[in-house]
Amino acid sequence: MHSRASSNRLSSGSAFRSRVSSLLLSMFATMASLYVAGRLWQDAQNRVYLIEELDKRIGQGQSAISVDDTLKIITCREQQKKLTALEMELAKARQEGFVSKHSSDDSGTPTKKKILAVIGIITRFGRKNNREAIRKAWMPTGAALKKLQDEKGIIVRFVIGRSANPGDKSDREIDNENGQSNDFIILKDHIEATEEEPKKTKLFLAHAVEKWDAEFYAKVNDDIYVNIDALGASLSNHLGILRVYIGCMKSGEVFSEQTHQWYEPEWWKFGDKKSYFRHASGELYAISRALAQFIAINRSILRTYAHDDVSAGSWFIGLDVKHVDEAKFCCSSWSSGAICAAA
């Protein structure tokens, strides 16, 4: 009897413990389910938020987008940027003369330049008599100057800088003269000085090519008389040559003595024999638009020497340029058929 009661109590205790264990397991399972469901809901909310933000950034509205699609969009945008950059570089190359301007445009009509040449007459303060002599001899004035441009495509201007003392008598005289004749290019960033003539020539060529779209740009001294019609005809013979340098080609000794009239401070750069490379005489020479554009682009790093003609020759010595030794440009030789003459 006693043993049976004990057996019943043991059985009841085991059942009780079993029910408690089951209850605890159910509670833990329920809590775990709630925790997992909460995390899943939170992750889902995060995904929705991220998708919405991505859609806003890429302009895709409310549609979801995969990582692969995102990478494709980024790649397309990068390719579009590269294509745009290439188109801009091509347009710039055309402007700079490195792509032939004689090629046909989109309509198939060949393009033609209206201006044949821009001629810059390099002058200085105190040279008004020279300028007046040129105006009377070969450079048109007033309406005739505009007619020369419209009918023959030739622009002629005197080229001068500014005084080291801004607004002084020299500056005022040039301003007054230009007010009457309207035939100057005044280089406001250039200070007039004899030793700065090579820099003035460089600045003139850069200014001219940025202002006028011409086939050629010519430099002439203010003591040279030019037959404009003959010059235009001579330049026309070289149309179609992209990079051409035309003039009375010469060389000569490099002088290292400081007391010499033609002293060259950089004489040691020209070798032991001290002879200049071939270059056009500074009295008159012409270059094509591509070369003028090259000067304009690189004006800040192009070296100048003691003389403007040597400086100009040095700028082209390492380029693929056609040098034309034109006897008609030899102004001091008085040769037959010359298009210029020294005063």
Q: Pick the residue with more confidence: 56 or 193?
A: 193
Residue 107 main-chain phi, psi, to 5 deg: -85, -5
Residue 49 lies inside a defined structural domain of this protein: no
Q: Pick the residue with more confidence: 340 or 310?
A: 340
Whether 186 has a pLDDT exceeding 70, the answer reads yes
Structure tokens at 294: 């090259």
Contact 121, 134 (CB under 8 A): yes
Whether 323 has a pLDDT exceeding 60, the answer reads yes
Residue 256 lies inside a defined structural domain of this protein: yes
Residue 310 lies inside a defined structural domain of this protein: yes
Residue 215 lies inside a defined structural domain of this protein: yes
As for how many domains the chain has, the answer is 1
Residue 193 main-chain phi, psi, to 5 deg: -165, 140
Residue 96 lies inside a defined structural domain of this protein: no
Whether 236 has a pLDDT exceeding 80, the answer reads yes
Q: Of the candidates 341, 310, 89, 93, which has an alpha carbon nearest to the alpha carbon of residue 202?
A: 310
Which domain range does residue 230 map to? Answer: 115-342
Residue 105 main-chain phi, psi, to 5 deg: -85, -170
Residue 178 lies inside a defined structural domain of this protein: yes
Please report, for residues 72, 82, 323, 332, the alpha-carbon distance to residue 59 in angstroms, rounded to integers and kept in the order given.
15, 22, 58, 72
Alpha-carbon distance of 325 to 279, in angstroms, equals 9
Residue 226 lies inside a defined structural domain of this protein: yes
3-class DSSP state for residue 243?
A: coil
Tokens 């005044």 locate to: 186
Residue 28 lies inside a defined structural domain of this protein: no
Average pLDDT estimate for 233-260 = 83
pLDDT, tens digit (0-9, with 9 covering 90-100), for 110-126: 444 479 999 999 999 99
Looking at residue 106, its pLDDT comes to 46
pLDDT, tens digit (0-9, with 9 covering 90-100), for 324-334: 999 999 998 66
Alpha-carbon distance of 294 to 90, in angstroms, equals 16
CATH of the domain at 220: 3.90.550.50
C-beta contacts of 146-149 below 8 A and 24+ residues apart = 148/228, 149/115
Instruction: Give the length of the chain.
Output: 343
Residue 189 DSSP label: E
Looking at residue 88, its pLDDT comes to 73
Mean of per-residue pLDDT scores for the chain: 79
User: Where does residue 108 fall: left (phi above 0), alpha (psi -120 to 50 degrees), or beta otherwise?
Assistant: left
Helical segments of the chain, H only:
2-58, 67-95, 128-137, 143-152, 169-181, 197-211, 228-236, 289-298, 308-316
Looking at residue 120, its pLDDT comes to 97
